[in-house]
């Protein structure tokens, strides 16, 4: 028996998906609601549906409103390619490029956000339903949402590099349960994903980059995860932001520049940030603020270096180097077993002559900072016009002109009862040692002489 709950936007009789896929999907949702009216039939009632978007370019001029549960919108390819690189190539060279736009199953967001219509007007996909139960099991999978272009914002930056256009890929405005966003490509949106009041959310294996901000978990939420994504925000916004979440897992993400922060937690408790690779051109990579507490930050690799791509040289997030790479405003957090690389040109440190800080405990008590390794180098990296080549060259450069003096751990006076173990030499850790516990990383040659030769194996010879 053929299913009546599987739809293809290219065969649906209402609207033209090439001209306005939003009209088509809204019509399909209306059909689902008109057919699935009963809430309890044979221990079932509303199974939901699948809407398929084949490979192709589909303009979206009408916002899609999702107010039903159990809806999956899927394509056959996330289609991501770098629009930022293309727009920063001289236009007379475009004819030599093999692709100009993202591909796959691609939705072109052609909305005109209204300044007086709130934050929702620029969202391509809006998930919103009041009442009980919460909207559940809405899924987005394997297609591209492309914001097309950024706009001038009065900053003097070229429009292509402002990260401003008022557009959002997916906005979930009401409380929700078990939403899944998987295998998506989101590009050139001011906000990639904005999700309010999430419970058991999964944001997994997506490519969210060249967006003003990438993943924002707003309001409050619990038991959600952001895993195995490739993420790169612009200098205005965070790559990953979570507010008032408990039991959040942020793991195995590759977070690359140029986000104002890599991971920012506000009022987040009892959560885990683990196994992420993070790269930034500014301080303030990981920030725990607004009383974030009882979180474990472990086994992450954090690289802070200088911007090598010519169009963005001189652009930053406004923070000075003493602010810190990882900043804590909260208590009872554990920062264990992370690797920090501060590999910068000492001449570019801001303010001039300041000492960069790696871990900065601003406030709160009972934080535990242990077994973290810090590499600090003063390097000279050339800038270039090719984004890919310049950044790869910078990443692979390990030749250093000298060591860089850093404060590995700074604990401000208003914070006390913290423990710092093996996370910096005696002279690299700054804190009041009368109210905090400290054990320095052993220095080479500072301990007793080691046994010779076979004495290591207890032979006595």
Q: What is the pLDDT of residues 267-317, one digit of tens each?
A: 999 999 999 999 999 999 999 999 999 999 999 999 999 988 677 787 888
CA–CA separation, 455 and 435 (whole Å): 41
- Give the pLDDT of residue 451: 46
pLDDT recorded at residue 390: 55
User: In the predicted model, what is the mean pLDDT of residues 206-226?
Assistant: 97
Query: Residue 384: pLDDT above 90?
Result: no
94 pLDDT band, cuts 50/70/90, is confident
Average pLDDT, the chain: 91
Q: What is the pLDDT of residues 5-35, one digit of tens each?
A: 999 999 999 999 999 999 999 999 999 999 9
Q: What is the pLDDT of residue 386?
A: 55
SS3 content of the chain, % helix, strand, coil (to 5): 15, 40, 50
| pLDDT value of residue 1 | 38
**Please, which pLDDT band fits residue 84 given cuts at 50, 70 and 90?**
confident
Could you tell me where the DSSP H helices lie in 67-136? Answer: 83-87
- Please state the separation of Cα 459 from the chain's center in Å: 54
Q: Across residues 30-59, what is the average pLDDT?
A: 94
pLDDT over 80 at 186, yes or no: yes
pLDDT band at 383 (very low <50, low <70, confident <90, very high): low
Query: Looking at residue 106, what is its pLDDT?
Result: 98
Does the structure show a pLDDT above 90 at 55?
A: yes
Q: What pLDDT sits at residue 459?
A: 42
> What is the reported pLDDT for 394?
61
pLDDT band at 455 (very low <50, low <70, confident <90, very high): very low
Quick one: pLDDT at residue 117?
Answer: 56
> Which residue has better confidence, 222 or 457?
222
What average pLDDT does range 418-434 have in this prediction?
98
pLDDT of residue 391: 57
pLDDT of residue 309: 67
DSSP category for residue 214: E
pLDDT reported for residue 392:
61
Query: For 343-357, what is the mean pLDDT?
Result: 94
Mean pLDDT value of segment 235-257: 97
Cβ proximity of 198 and 171 under 8 Å: no
pLDDT of residue 398: 56
Question: Is the pLDDT at 389 greater than 70, yes or no?
Answer: no
Give yes or no for residue 454 having a pLDDT over 60. Answer: no
By CB neighbour count within 10 A (0-12 exposed, 13-18 middle, 19+ buried), where does 54 fall? middle
Is residue 443's pLDDT more than 90?
Answer: no
The pLDDT of residue 115 is 67
194-211 mean pLDDT:
98
Instruction: Give the list of residues 6+ apart from residue 73 with CB closer than 8 angstroms, or none.
Output: 25, 50, 51, 53, 125, 139, 140, 141, 143
The domains found in the chain, sorted by start residue, are 1-168 (2.160.20.10), 212-444 (2.160.20.10)
Contacting residues for 47 by C-beta, under 8 A, at least 6 apart:
5, 36, 70
Q: What is the dihedral of CA 14, 17, 23, 29, to 10 degrees?
A: 70
């Amino acid at each position: 028996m053929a299913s009546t709950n599987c739809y293809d936007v290219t065969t649906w009789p209402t609207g033209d998906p090439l001209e306005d896929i939003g009209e088509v999907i809204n019509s399909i949702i209306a059909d689902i609601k008109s057919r699935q009216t009963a809430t309890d039939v044979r221990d079932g009632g509303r199974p939901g549906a699948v809407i398929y978007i084949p490979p192709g370019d589909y303009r979206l001029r009408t916002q899609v409103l999702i107010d039903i549960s159990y809806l999956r919108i899927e394509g056959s390819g996330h289609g991501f390619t770098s629009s930022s690189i293309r727009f920063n190539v001289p236009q007379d060279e475009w004819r030599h490029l093999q692709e100009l736009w993202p591909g796959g199953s691609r939705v072109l967001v052609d909305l005109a956000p209204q300044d007086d219509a709130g934050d929702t007007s620029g969202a391509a996909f809006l998930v919103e339903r009041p009442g009980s139960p919460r909207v559940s099991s809405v899924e987005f999978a394997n297609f591209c949402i492309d914001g097309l272009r950024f706009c001038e914002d009065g900053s003097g930056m070229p429009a292509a590099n402002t990260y401003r256009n008022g557009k959002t890929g997916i906005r979930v405005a009401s409380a929700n349960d078990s939403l899944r966003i998987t295998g998506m490509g989101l590009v050139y949106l001011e906000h990639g994903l904005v999700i309010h009041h999430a419970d058991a959310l999964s944001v997994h294996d997506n490519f969210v980059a060249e967006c003003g901000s990438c993943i924002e978990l707003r309001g409050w939420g619990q038991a959600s995860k952001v895993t195995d994504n490739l993420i790169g925000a612009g200098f205005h916004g965070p790559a990953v932001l979570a507010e008032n979440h408990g039991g959040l897992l942020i793991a195995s993400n590759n977070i690359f520049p140029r986000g104002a922060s890599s991971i920012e937690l506000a009022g987040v408790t009892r959560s885990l940030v683990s196994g992420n690779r993070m790269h930034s051109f500014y301080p303030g990579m990981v920030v725990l603020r607004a009383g974030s507490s009882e979180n474990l930050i472990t086994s992450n690799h954090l690289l802070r270096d200088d911007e090598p791509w010519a169009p963005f040289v001189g652009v930053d997030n406004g923070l000075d180097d003493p602010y810190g790479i990882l900043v804590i405003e909260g208590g009872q957090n554990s920062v264990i077993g992370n690797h920090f690389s501060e590999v910068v040109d000492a001449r570019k440190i801001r303010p001039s002559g300041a000492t960069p800080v790696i871990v900065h405990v601003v406030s709160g008590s009972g934080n535990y900072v242990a077994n973290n390794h810090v590499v600090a180098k003063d390097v000279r990296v050339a800038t270039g016009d090719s984004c890919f080549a310049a950044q790869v060259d910078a990443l692979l450069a390990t030749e250093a002109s000298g060591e860089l003096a850093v404060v590995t751990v700074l604990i401000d006076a208003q914070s006390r009862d913290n423990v710092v173990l093996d996370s910096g030499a005696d002279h690299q850790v700054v804190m009041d040692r009368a109210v905090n516990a400290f054990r320095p990383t052993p220095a080479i040659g500072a301990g007793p002489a080691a046994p010779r030769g076979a004495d290591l194996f207890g032979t006595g010879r």
